Each structure stands twice: as structure tokens, then as C-alpha cells.
Amino acid sequence: MSTLDRGTLLSMAVSNPTRRLENRLFREQGHRVILGVDEVGVAPSAGPVVACALAMPLDKRFIKGVRDSKMLSAAQRERLAKRILRHAITVGLGAASVREIDQINIYYATVLAMKRAVARAGEHDYVIVDGRKIRGFEEHAGPYQAMIDGDARCYAVACASIVAKVTRDRLMRNLSVRYPWYGWEHNAGYATPDHRAGMTAHGVTAHHRRSFITTQRVLAGEQTALDLFDDESSASILDVATDASPEPIFAAS
């Protein structure tokens, strides 16, 4: 890859999301409460998947620094989440528990979390969802549009990605106090080497996704130096889901 190619990709990666779609929906259709929806926690071996649906005011200036949550440090996300919550018109959080993850698959559990988040956000005019179209989603959310890389392209979706990530990371840190052997306070449940070592030494908990390959191998007592599939690849075909949406575990003001 040439230097120019790398520079172009870097520029695209750190580009700021816009309100272009939201503004068009307002101008052409009069929509004002436009929810951005995103989820976090599809690939980890432990913990729920969490989704956020929120609407930002169209007549206020952008919150400086908002972009795809994956492009931000933990400290940046924490700071921005507080500002987002102060300015948001409405916010809804939804989750799918580990039990639901193991009963349905990760895809359907993720959709379930997003439906719960939209329902808890209340009245709205339109929804923009990160990712691809979801069959039947309009029956629960109303008019919506799916946007690939929406968390990098759409302001409302980027804001939702930050709040969802902060909420789930804090949840996993809280769980790490009760289960200190897995490194959840820093790996958020992903199948990192220290997490795998903790599973091997201390077994699995009720918060581990037993349908995921890493967990299954620990339960079977298998030791492998190299996984044929890791949880990030298997996450696309396995499952997720909680009966109640997680409360935001940070102050809104």
C-alpha cells in the first residue's frame, strides 16, 4: 500500500460524522426527532450486547470531538457521553442478556437490543441504524434507514455509539469487581489472552456466552494454541440478549 493510500485511509477513518441525512429528512419530510441507533458488544465472550437510540437537536451546534466510538480513547468517550446526554432530546438504552445470546443467535439478540433501545427512546419521527437493513425492523421502529458505517458518517449514530460503549464498559467494570480473574475492567469481555487464561484457571461464570467457541473450548477442557475461529468471526453467526434495558451508569449532568 502506498503512502498516499495510507494517508487517504487515515483521513477517512478520523473524518467527522455529519448531519447531512438528518438535515435532508428535516427539510424534505419535516422530521425533527431522528434517532441514531448503534450497538456494542457483539464479539466479546462475556457480557450483554448493549444498544443506544438517541436524538440530538438539529438546531444546536455539533459537540466537538464526536465520532465513531472506536476512534476515541476511554477518557474521550466518558467526557463526550456526559455532554451528549445533557443535550440529547431523548435517549433509550436496550440490551440483550447472555442467556438470550445463548438462546437465540448474536444477530437476533443484537436486533432485540436495538428494538428495546428504540422503544425506550419514546416518540420519534425517523430512525437511522448503523449497519445493514434489518428485516421487519420498521414494524417496531417505524420509518428507518440503515447506514453502513453509520457511526462514522452520521452524527446521531456516532453519539449513540459513544453512549452505548460507555454504558457497556462501565457495566463490565462493575462485574469485574465481583469476578476479578478475567480482566473485564480493561478487556470488556473480549477473548484477550488474560481473559482466556482466567477462564482456564477459574472456569466460566453466568456472564460468559456459552454458545461462543472460546467458552465451549474452556468447558470442554480443550487447550489450543491457535483457534480455527475466534469469537470475532463466530459472533456473526452466533447470538446475544436482557429482559430490561440497562440504566445509564453515569450521570446525565
Residues in CB range of 169: below 8 A, 6 or more apart: 74, 77, 188
> Residue 131: is its pLDDT beyond 90?
yes
% the chain with pLDDT above 70: 82
Contact 231, 191 (CB under 8 A): yes
pLDDT digits (tens, 9 = 90+) for 158-215: 999 999 999 999 999 999 999 999 999 999 999 999 999 999 999 999 999 999 998 9
Which residues contact residue 66 at a Cβ distance below 8 angstroms, ignoring those fewer than 6 apart?
16, 17, 80, 84, 155, 158, 159, 162
Domain boundaries, given as residue ranges, for the chain: 3-169, 175-234
What is the arithmetic mean of pLDDT over 75-100? 97
| Average per-residue pLDDT for the chain | 85
Measuring CA to CA, which residue among 142, 90, 94 is closest to residue 115?
94
What are the helix (H) ranges across the chain? 3-13, 20-29, 74-87, 98-103, 106-121, 138-141, 150-153, 155-178, 184-187, 193-202, 213-219, 231-234
Q: What is the CATH number of domain 3-169?
A: 3.30.420.10
> Which SS3 state, helix, strand or coil, does residue 2 take?
coil
pLDDT attached to residue 4: 37
The model's pLDDT over 11-59, given as tens digits with 9 standing for 90+, comes to: 444 578 999 999 999 999 999 999 999 999 999 999 999 999 999 999 9
Answer yes or no: are the C-beta atoms of 44 and 186 closer than 8 Å. no
Q: Are 190 and 45 in contact (CB under 8 A)?
A: yes
pLDDT at 246: 53
Q: How far apart are CA 106 and CA 94, in angstroms?
A: 15
Residue 237: its pLDDT value, please? 27
